[in-house]
Every structure is written in C-alpha cells, then in structure tokens.
Amino acid sequence: MKHLIASFALTLLAVTAAIAAPPRRGDRSDETRRLKRASEVFTEIMASPDKGIPVNLLDKAECVAIVPGMSKGGIGVGGRYGKGVVMCRKGDRSWTAPSFLTVEGGSFGLQLGFEKVDLIMLIMNRHGMDALIGDKFTVGADAAAAAGPVGRNASADTDVKLNAEILTYSRAKGLFGGLALNGAVVKQDHDDNHSFYGRDLDARQILIDGSVPMPAEARALAVTLSRTSPAKE
C-alpha cells in the first residue's frame, strides 16, 4: 500500500510538471530556460565561500548534473520529480555540450505540502559516468552515492565520500547542504534532447564522444562551470 501511495505521489508530481510545461518537439524554449536557471543556481551556490561545493571535488568530478526547481513533498508520503541538465569533462577537462535528464524517486515519512529544491549531482568517476549514460539508473543501487561535504575548502577525506561515485547536494528555502538521494531514478530525457538539438542524440554521443558542438544557449553554463573549475592549461 505504501508503495502504491508513493507511485501516486510521483505520478502527481510528474503530471503537474508536464501540465506546467507541455513538451513540444522543435521548441527549445523549455530547455533554454533550464540551462539559464542551472547556470544561475550554480553561480548562487558557489558565491558563498563557506557554503559552496568544495573546489577540490569539482576539479575531480567527471560530470556535473543540475536540476533546478525539483518538486519535492506530498501529504503523508514524499516524492521527487525534476528535469535537469548534465555536462561532462572532455579529455582536456573542458566541458561537453549538455544532455537533458529527469530525476524521480520516492521518500517515506510524515510531511505536508510541497516545495521546490535545487539539486546538484557530482559524478566522480567513469563507473558513475557509465551509469549516467545508460537509459536510466537508480542512485545508490547502480552507482554508489553519498551526501556531499559543504564548504569551498572543506575536506572530503572520509572513506564514504572518496568511494562514492556520485555526490549529491540540495538547496531549499535558502539552505544548502549534502543530500541523501539514494533510491532516486535518473533517466535520459530523449524528448528534450531531440527538441533541443533537432535530432535524436543520446547521452553517450553528447557526453562521452564529445563531438557535439557547444550550443550558444549552453555557453553561459559552460563558462560558469569553467570559471570555478577550469580546464587544464
């Protein structure tokens, strides 16, 4: 019964998001707004030296996924649903073009109401990347995950964080910190990739091959990431 209620909560969140922004192939406006908001979210989070993501972790990360305004909450049972964007490193540590994704997953516990949460995921190694470029994966099951440490110069030398393939963070109501996201399902958003690029491209082609040119709409996010964690000289 609990799982049925959780499924209903997730469906409600997904339907609400779809109604708010109905998918239209060939219309890049939703994806462009998401890229702009992702750049703003990352800039705002990193603007506070004592509350941002540690720079040494960003330098080691292979990919950064940002889900601005993820819906979280429910009545009696929680749920999550959000649409985001991810960029990965090329061989010279510069950033690839963006690929689009969705995040959904349930959480149980007494809660009331809904809220919007900004989510950031650092994919730390190739195994995490392999999970990311698959059609979908479950955080914590298909890739080891941990709540990320906070603070631009924070130490990340605990075993759980060194061994994690994904480090997760969230910001809600102005508060930023590590987030335990185990159980959330991350999926490629084929429709959004098609809408944005005008053709069928999967995450491997965009994020691993690195041959897709950087779209103008994504340059602000790439610059924002590079400003904090630049490519090799």
Report pLDDT for 68.
Answer: 95
Q: What pLDDT score was predicted for residue 220?
A: 96
pLDDT of residue 182: 84
Interatomic CA distance for residues 220 and 109, integer angstroms: 38
Helices (H), 96-182: 126-133, 159-163
**Cβ distance 196 to 31 under 8 Å?**
yes
pLDDT tens string 143-156: 889 988 887 666 55
Task: Report the pLDDT value the prediction gives residue 215, as an integer from 0 to 100.
Answer: 96
If you average pLDDT over every residue of the chain, what do you get?
Answer: 81
- DSSP H helices, the chain, are 2-20, 29-46, 55-60, 126-133, 159-163, 190-197, 203, 219-228
Q: How far apart are CA 127 and CA 141, in angstroms?
A: 12
Total residues found in the chain within this entry: 233
Residue 38 lies in a domain: yes
Q: Is residue 58 part of a domain?
A: yes
User: Of all residues in the chain, what percent are helix, strand and coil, respectively (each to 5)?
Assistant: 35, 35, 30
pLDDT score of 115: 75
Place of tokens 């809220």: 115
173, pLDDT greater than 60? yes
Q: State residue 20's pLDDT score.
A: 42
CA-CA distance, 187 to 89, in Å (whole number)?
20
Q: Does residue 233 sit within a domain?
A: no
pLDDT tens profile 3-42: 444 444 444 444 444 434 444 555 789 999 999 999 999 9
Contact 64, 86 (CB under 8 A): yes
Domain contains 185: yes
The alpha helices in 21-169, defined as continuous H runs, are: 29-46, 55-60, 126-133, 159-163
Residue 20 lies in a domain: yes
Domain contains 212: yes
Q: Which domain holds residue 43?
A: 2-228
Handedness of CA 212, 217, 44, 173 (dihedral sign): negative
pLDDT of residue 109: 46
Cα–Cα separations (whole angstroms), residue 94 to 24, 103, 127, 222: 31, 25, 20, 8
pLDDT recorded at residue 130: 92
pLDDT at 78: 55
d(CA 63, CA 155): 20
The total number of structural domains that make up the chain: 1
In a domain, 203, yes or no: yes
